[in-house]
Every structure is written in structure tokens, then in C-alpha cells.
Amino acid sequence: MKPQDHEENTRQMFDSFCKKALKYSARDQRRAMKRRRERETPFSELSARELASLAVTDEYFRDEYAFDVLGESVGVYDADLAGALSEIPADRREIVLMSYFFDMADAEIAKRLNMARRTVAYRRASTLKKLKNLLESED
């Protein structure tokens, strides 16, 4: 076997390899594009309702209802929730707001309000039940 024959054979093998690589790469690309067409929907084909569900609107000047807790103002943006909170006695409202807005445990709240921890737990649970009833009755 001559050295030129070996070089020619190697060149032909490399040429064959490159053609196969391009062929399969093109096939993979076509399959990927087909999958993408099947799974994606252009915005132009969406209905107005579907487009609206994808949109996000900034609400800078929403109505904010403020409640004073521990000398700080807690803002509530939901009018129904604010209405229900305003119907609850202030001491019980403070317990709920400290628990949910300040992430305080019952023991911390009890220490701040000079109460027993079980009293705080009972008042929080009963107040949440009352809030639930008030919010359900508004619907």
C-alpha cells in the first residue's frame, strides 16, 4: 500500500464523517424546529383574553388601608380584608397582624403584650375564624 493511498483513504473517511455529521445535525435541527412549532404559540394567534392573562400591570396608586401595630403602619391593599380587619377589636387585630405581617411567633407576641402564649394562640385562632366568616359573608 502506497502512502498516497493511505492519505486518500483517510481524506475520504474524513469527508464521509463530515457529510454524516452535517446530515444528522440538519436532521436534529429540523426536529427541534418542528417540536418548537408544535409547543409554542405566536402572540399574534392568541386571543385578547389570553394576552391579558399574560400581562402584568403595575399598581402604584392602589388604595392602601393602614393599621397601626407596635408603632408601625401595616398596609393592606385588599378592601374586603381591610373592612373585615376594621370590624375586629384592636387587641385581637394586633395579634393577627403581628403574626402574619411581622412573622412573630406566639411566644414573641405574648411577651410584647404581657399575655400567656396560649391566650395569644386562642385569640389568633378565634380571630382568624371570625375573619373567615366576615369575608365569606361579604361574598
For residue 71 the three cell numbers come to 408603632
pLDDT of 130 higher than 90: yes
What's the structural domain count of the chain? 2
68, containing H or E segment: strand 65-69
Please report whether residue 56 resides in a domain: no
- Residue 88 and residue 31 share a domain: no
pLDDT tens, residue by residue, 27-52: 999 999 999 988 888 888 888 888 88
Contacts of 46 by beta carbon, 8 Å cutoff, 6+ apart = 54
- Residue 128 and residue 72 share a domain: yes
Maximum Cα–Cα distance across the chain:
102
108, containing H or E segment: helix 106-113
What's the average model confidence in pLDDT over 104-117? 92
What are the angstrom distances between the C-alpha of 42 and each of 39, 63, 78, 84, 111?
A: 10, 36, 35, 44, 57
For residue 84 the three cell numbers come to 373585615
Give CA–CA dist 12/111, Å, rounded.
Answer: 85
- Residue 72 and residue 131 share a domain: yes
Q: Which structural domain, as residue segments, surrounds residue 112?
A: 65-138
Q: Against a cut of 0.85, is the pTM above it?
A: no
- pLDDT computed for residue 23 by the predictor: 96
- Residue 71 and residue 35 share a domain: no
What are the angstrom distances between the C-alpha of 112 and each of 70, 76, 115?
A: 9, 22, 8
Residue 99: count other Cβ atoms within 10 Å of its Cβ: 19
Q: Pick 116 or 74 by higher pLDDT.
A: 116
Q: Residue 126: which CATH number?
A: 1.10.10.10
Please report whether residue 121 resides in a domain: yes
Please report whether residue 69 resides in a domain: yes
- pLDDT computed for residue 122 by the predictor: 94
- pLDDT computed for residue 3 by the predictor: 66
- Residue 125 and residue 84 share a domain: yes
Please report whether residue 81 resides in a domain: yes
